[in-house]
Structure 1
Amino acid sequence: MSAVDPRSVRLMTAATLVAVGVAVTLVTIKAVAWAMTGSVAMLSSLADSTLDCLASLVNLLAVRHAVQPADADHRFGHGKAEALAGMVQAAIVTGSAGFLLSEIIDRFRDPQIPQAELAGVVVMVVSIALTLGLVQFQKYVVRRTGSVAVGADSLHYTGDVLMNLSVIAALGLGKWLGWSWIDPVFGLGIALLLLKGAWEIGRESFNMLMDREFPDADRERIMALATGHPQVIGAHDLRTRSSGLQDFIQVHLEVDGSLPLRKAHVIADQVERSICAAFPKAEVIIHLDPDGIREPRLDDRIAGA
């Protein structure tokens, strides 16, 4: 049976704490910059950072719950808390985009050239530096753990880098060229980027909550490992799903029906070890079927659906 890696737990916890710290810092400096510039692009960036802070707090709580080991009431662990956090983030970001769109409409009706552009640019440069450092750390954690919650936060903050660059462009062009319309245009682009991120986060979280199967390439690899044992005659009814840091794989193996139970058990253990070596985060459950016995199969029901 696979156990949650303590190093992964530490990395995920550290990533959520760092994200909250960076988000609080960004909210503070952007609030000051918005008060100085009156820029809707700056406001949009401030709103996004505020909601990123809330989302990071949700992630912090979700990760603390998700990494808890299985207990009597949750035999498959608590990993889906990550997916729930992802759904909450998607909802928060969608609401943020709606708010920004309403502000953008007002600014199109009453165009204004942002003031104190130097202060805005300085804040954005600092924001970009902080966010890039956070994103690099988050990507490292995602590579090591595969965390959905940390990956969702990383997507947020990657978008923030692009948003901050857009704010710098809006402030500069508005001042130098006198384009009062450029500020709400960049704000509109940021709002659309937020909606795109919300869709991606929500889709990944929904797939985990709905126990979506592994990609076809992974399923084919599992079947190849299962049938690669010389005493396995066939395999069927493969089921796969993910729950936070934990993957679950179930498969039926067909073996010679005349084999002693102990020998069949040894075969199943050998196949389980080979699959676990290829999928180290997986808990593998194997059911043995005597060759030649035909019974209702999940594969047949799916094929006939």
Structure 2
Amino acid sequence: MSSHHTRLNLSAAAASVSVALFLVVMKLWALVQTQSLSVAASLADSGMDLVVSALGLIGIAYAARPPDHDHAFGHSSAEDLTALGQALFLVATAIALAGVSLRRLLAPTPAPLTSEGTGIAVMLVSILLTGALILWQRRVARLTGSRVVAADSLHYLSDLLPSLGAILALWLSARFGFTDVDTVVGLVASAVLFFGAVRIGNGAWNALMDRRADPGLIAEIEGIIADHPGVIGFHDLRTRTAGSRIFVDFHIELDGTLSLNQAHAIGAGLKHRIIQSFPQTDILIHKDPRDPDA
């Protein structure tokens, strides 16, 4: 991964930690003021955001280390391990939040809410900060292909629903005295969080198990190979993912009468074209001689 991409990933992770820390402090104050379960749900989510984002920052920093004697292919799998840890944290949070919501829903007396206006103001600020962070994370993930940044972005996107739900619950409580909506929002938020965690964990698990790259990306790489000057054919194309890296190796068939320098030039040009289109790829090309008239 280029140093520019590393800096982008680190900037997104650092921004995530900073926003999460600010939101935890702000929502904790709002919870004390309102006693709202939906605010508590959003606070729990932000608390986990802080832990998960901090782990993400550590994972990205470690994954950016260059290859060494013991890790010839680099350290990018650390991103997948981090993303898997993120998913486990999120599942635990979702289960705990669902339990609290169910207990309050089944309680004989609805829990009162207070200072709804304060809570609404806090949640609006939360939505604005989260939205700005998501836009930056999406841009970084699109440029670098980082799985950790993409997972963090998905998680923060799922945070918007609890925040919007909290605003609705607080408004209904202040306007009409409805408090059960607050509990329902907590349940919905836990479900969104749970299924989002499953998606993140599944992607990380697939990468750790060396699953192939996205079929669309493979098809584009095959098109580049087939159209490259001097390449008669290709076979045995294999891919695997590790963090934000995609490892690709394949055989190309070249005119057997070419000199070694000519064959090398064709392979080097092809490798450059693929990396230019997909900077996150690591390319290994085997060159096989072939009779062009065969």
TM-score normalised by L of structure 1 = 0.89
Partner in structure 2 of residue 195 of structure 1: 194
- Cα distance per residue 1:234-256 (max 9 Å; x no partner): 21110122323432210111223
* Uncovered stretches (5+) of structure 1, i.e. residues with no partner: 293-305
CA distance in 1, matches of 2:31, 2:122: 10
- Aligned-pair CA distance for 1:148: 1.0
Q: Determine helix, strand or coil for the equivalent of 2:288.
A: strand
CA distance in 1, matches of 2:228, 2:122: 60
- Aligned-pair CA distance for 1:224: 2.4
Q: Determine helix, strand or coil for the equivalent of 1:115.
A: coil
Partner in structure 1 of residue 96 of structure 2: 99
Partner in structure 2 of residue 275 of structure 1: 274
Any residues of structure 2 matched to 1:179-258 within 5 Å, and which? Answer: 179-258=178-257
Any residues of structure 2 matched to 1:1-305 within 5 Å, and which? Answer: 4-110=1-107, 111-291=110-290
Q: Determine helix, strand or coil for the equivalent of 1:118.
A: helix
Counterpart of 2:65 in structure 1: which amino acid? Q
Range that drifts further, 253-262 or 178-187: 253-262
Partner in structure 2 of residue 301 of structure 1: none
- Cα distance per residue 1:180-224 (max 9 Å; x no partner): 321111111111110121022112212221222222232222222
- Aligned-pair CA distance for 1:170: 0.7
Asked whether the 8 Å contact 1:235–1:254 carries over to 2, the reply is yes
Number of aligned residues: 289
CA distance in 1, matches of 2:72, 2:222: 26
Asked whether the 8 Å contact 2:102–2:187 carries over to 1, the reply is no
CA distance in 1, matches of 2:231, 2:136: 44
Residues 60/230 of structure 1: CA separation in 2 closer, same or farther (3 Å cut):
closer
Counterpart of 2:91 in structure 1: which amino acid? T
Partner in structure 2 of residue 299 of structure 1: none
Counterpart of 1:197 in structure 2: which amino acid? G
Residues 63/230 of structure 1: CA separation in 2 closer, same or farther (3 Å cut):
closer
- Aligned-pair CA distance for 1:262: 3.7
Asked whether the 8 Å contact 1:40–1:187 carries over to 2, the reply is yes
- Aligned-pair CA distance for 1:258: 4.3
Asked whether the 8 Å contact 2:166–2:185 carries over to 1, the reply is yes
* Uncovered stretches (5+) of structure 2, i.e. residues with no partner: none
- State percent identity of aligned pairs: 39
Asked whether the 8 Å contact 2:145–2:280 carries over to 1, the reply is no
Counterpart of 1:93 in structure 2: which amino acid? L
Q: Determine helix, strand or coil for the equivalent of 2:246.
A: strand
TM-score normalised by L of structure 2 = 0.92
Asked whether the 8 Å contact 2:20–2:46 carries over to 1, the reply is yes
- Aligned-pair CA distance for 1:230: 4.5
Asked whether the 8 Å contact 1:113–1:179 carries over to 2, the reply is no
Residues 122/156 of structure 1: CA separation in 2 closer, same or farther (3 Å cut):
same
Residues 155/259 of structure 1: CA separation in 2 closer, same or farther (3 Å cut):
same
Partner in structure 2 of residue 298 of structure 1: none
Q: CA RMSD in A?
A: 1.7
- Cα distance per residue 1:120-169 (max 9 Å; x no partner): 11211121122122122212211221211111111121122221111010
Range that drifts further, 38-47 or 238-247: 238-247
Range that drifts further, 186-195 or 228-237: 228-237
Q: Determine helix, strand or coil for the equivalent of 1:171.
A: helix
